[in-house]
Amino acid sequence: MKKLMIMATVALFIGGVFGCKKGNPTGEFQANVDYFEVRDKPKYLWNELDYLCDSIHKEYGVKVIYEYNQRTIAGTTFFVPADYTKALAYTRIMIKGFWLKPLKENFPQYFTKETPIEFIEVGGFIHFNDITSAGAAAGAGLNAQFYRLGMGGVNNFNKNDKAWLFDHIVTLYHEHAHEQDHKYGRGELYDRVSLGDYYGLSYTSRSVAQSNLDGFFKPYGGYAPEEDFATSVESMARFTKAEVDLMTSKNPKLATKYRMVYKYYLDKGMDLHKLHDVLDSVVYKTVY
């Protein structure tokens, strides 16, 4: 019997070793395929904008994406790439001229630590459910990830429309504020300041003056705390310190939140009042 057991064990062992081929079973990834590999466009296909994006990447560490492939978009958000000539001018003037260059020169600490490493240029706006619906809500930018920022409306770019350019760059800081919020949190104390005062969707029927009296920089800030935070950053980028002071004087809660947001950014190396002066200068007082 003992002999039989030994024989059986040997047989099992042999069967186990030679019974099947072990090579490449289900789910075992091959080492030579990198599924997350970023396949850059080969250099022989580069156009003027590809060279510009490359120089921006080298100088500022931001990869500007104007051309889409399946890695750029998610299956559940809908947006289209920008017109090539618009994207070329937008990248040169808006991205390099208005955003990255002044940011690196004036706020080096903030630039180094907080700048996203990817920026997506979107021709139209961001449609959440269906791209063909004309009237439904559409997002101005992409701000859900820490490392990636995106802005819509690039097809509307017109370098002679300074009001549009200024509005766009302050909106970019608004979208980036959402990222900062996701990344560090605006804090519970912030949310408590205007607790109970938020309008919800009825913000659309409020005027700017009324929203100031109610403790917000603009009606959209009264929509919800996250927009309150982002519109605060946007308003400090948009208006002079004197204008901001006038708004915050209308409601002590607004003044409290203003101080919180101002300090939040200052601690990270960005003086938002200085940012206004810088943006005003590059958009309205330089030649491009």
Partner 1 sequence: MKRNLIILYCILMVSGLASCEKDVITNAAMDSKNRTVENTKALKNVLQNAPNGWVMMVKSSLSANAYTPIVMKFDTTKNIVDVKTVYGITDPNPSFFEIDSGTGSLLLTFSTSSIMTSLFRIGATASDVTDHIYKVMKISDDSIEIQGYRSGAVYKPEGGVTYKLFKRPANWDWANAAISLDFSNATWRNGIINRDGTFEFEYMDGTPKLTLKVKLGVWSDASITSYRTRDPFVTNVSAKGFLPMYPIVFDHTLPTSNTYNTTTDRLSPLIGHNAIAYYPFTFNAQTNANTIAFASKIKSQYLVLTGMTRSDATATAAIDLNFVAYDKTGEIYLKAKYSLR
Which positions touch partner 1 (CB under 8 A)?
Answer: 4, 7-8, 11-12, 14-16, 19-21, 24-26, 30, 32-33, 35, 39, 41, 45, 47, 66-70, 73, 75-76, 78-87, 123-125, 128-132, 134, 153, 155-156
- What distance in Å separates the CA atoms of residue 89 and residue 158, rounded to the nearest whole number? 9
Judged by beta carbon, residue 17 or residue 195, the one nearer partner 1 is 17
In whole angstroms, how close is the CB of 270 to partner 1 at the nearest point? 30
Judged by beta carbon, residue 33 or residue 287, the one nearer partner 1 is 33
In whole angstroms, how close is the CB of 237 to partner 1 at the nearest point? 23
Judged by beta carbon, residue 7 or residue 117, the one nearer partner 1 is 7
In whole angstroms, how close is the CB of 230 to partner 1 at the nearest point? 22
Fill in the DSSP letter of residue 208.
H
The alpha helices in 155-203, defined as continuous H runs, are: 162-184, 188-193
Q: Which two tokens stand for residue 5?
A: 């057991």
Judged by beta carbon, residue 140 or residue 266, the one nearer partner 1 is 140
Judged by beta carbon, residue 85 or residue 112, the one nearer partner 1 is 85
In whole angstroms, how close is the CB of 265 to partner 1 at the nearest point? 31
Q: What is 100-149 written as a DSSP string?
A: IHHHHHH-HHHHHHH--SEEEE-SS-EESS-TT-SSS-EESEE-SSSSEE
In whole angstroms, how close is the CB of 190 to partner 1 at the nearest point? 32
- What distance in Å separates the CA atoms of residue 61 and residue 38, rounded to the nearest whole number? 16
In single-letter form, the type of residue at position 158 comes to N
Q: Can you name the residues that pair with 151 across neighbouring β-strands? A: 121, 141
